[in-house]
A = this chain, B = another copy of it.
Amino acid sequence: MDMRDIARIAGVSSATVSRVINGSNSVNPATAEKVRRVIEETKFVPNGSATTLKYGRSSTYGLIIPDITNPFFPEFIRSFEAILAKNRQDMLMATTDHQSTNLQQTIQRMMIRQVDGIALLASEIETEPIEALLHNRIPLVTMDRRVVGPGLSDISIHNGSGMNAALQYLHGLGHRRIAYIGGSPGLTISDHRKRAFVKAVQSVGLPVEPAFLRSGNYRIRGGETAMTEILDLETWPTAILAANDLTAIGALRVLHNRGLAVPKDFSIIGFDDIELTDIISPPLTSVRLSRQTLAETFVTALASFAGERHGMGKEFSVKTSLVVKGSTGPARKKTRS
């Protein structure tokens, strides 16, 4: 069943059917109505691959994320997909699970499918697959990589805004020893976030204690390990800031198990403000990174290549902000609990 069949039944040409389907206004309303009725009756659905072949555009975008079990990503995906759906665009989704071979193949598959662009939230990015993309004029938008170029935009997370607010808030509560549990070492996004923390600490006039700068892996387990190490220190911090909420939750679990109270003994602040932060106890104070805003920015960035796929990319930015909940309070007085 194709447009010619519809045309035959409706007694018109396939060109007219095409015009009706695409809402051309240069079709006689009566003719259009007749065609529409035939489409309805036959439940005809046009073949998108023909359109894609003809046009060179698929109205499909690729989305690549590192780890769908981190709740940040589902919340992002939902927004991203909703925006695309509104524009009658589709999403080809893939997970790298932190493996670069997967990334390579995934990008290849997406290129074959003629995606109109790729949103890449993964962090472990090698240059080779990216070059293949840009060479084939597939726009790419990355996160917090701080590199732009022809067909390549980036969305930087403005960690500073939320991080500064968090440190001012903690400082105001009397906290003077504040530790940080970062993300996976080596990823640019981890570096940026850590640097923002260090700057924020300095901006409230506190020293940066190297022993208080730990690394995690953006997962609960990493937060647990780092928190355990922190509790082995001679002098404890009074507050902990984590590179994401899962890390903070891991820290929280260790404190719970040791019989330490939050926020009485320790204040904890997460990052991202995922929904999970509201259902744990106490609800986690967190630096919010809006998934909705981030998704909108990604779509905007991708769409800006619609006219000229190889046009010069831009640096976009998304703000963060502090959301105070139950895991933070006045600093305890004692060096240890």
Q: Does A220 contact B (CB under 8 A)?
A: yes
Task: Among B45, B68, B95, B280, point to the contact of A132 (Cβ < 8 A).
Answer: B45
Q: Contact check, A45 vs B136: say whether CB atoms are below 8 A apart.
A: yes
Interface SS majority for chain A: helix
**Shortest CB distance A217–B (Å):** 15
Q: Contact check, A49 vs B43: say whether CB atoms are below 8 A apart.
A: no
Q: Does A310 contact B (CB under 8 A)?
A: no
Alpha-carbon gap, A73 to B75, bound state (A): 12
Q: Contact check, A279 vs B78: say whether CB atoms are below 8 A apart.
A: no
Alpha-carbon gap, A189 to B261, bound state (A): 41
Q: Contact check, A68 vs B60: say whether CB atoms are below 8 A apart.
A: no
**Shortest CB distance A182–B (Å):** 20
A 95-125 binary contact with B (CB < 8 Å = 1; else 0): 1010000100110111111100000000000
Q: Which residues of A contact B (CB under 8 A)?
A: 1, 43, 45-50, 52-53, 58, 60, 68-69, 71, 73-75, 77-78, 81-82, 85, 88, 90-95, 97, 102, 105-106, 108-114, 131-132, 135-136, 220, 249, 253, 256, 275-276, 279-281
Q: What are 18 inter-chain pairs, A to B, with CB distance below 8 A?
A: A43-B136, A45-B108, A46-B112, A47-B114, A49-B49, A53-B53, A60-B113, A71-B71, A73-B74, A77-B95, A81-B93, A81-B95, A85-B94, A85-B105, A85-B109, A91-B93, A91-B94, A256-B281
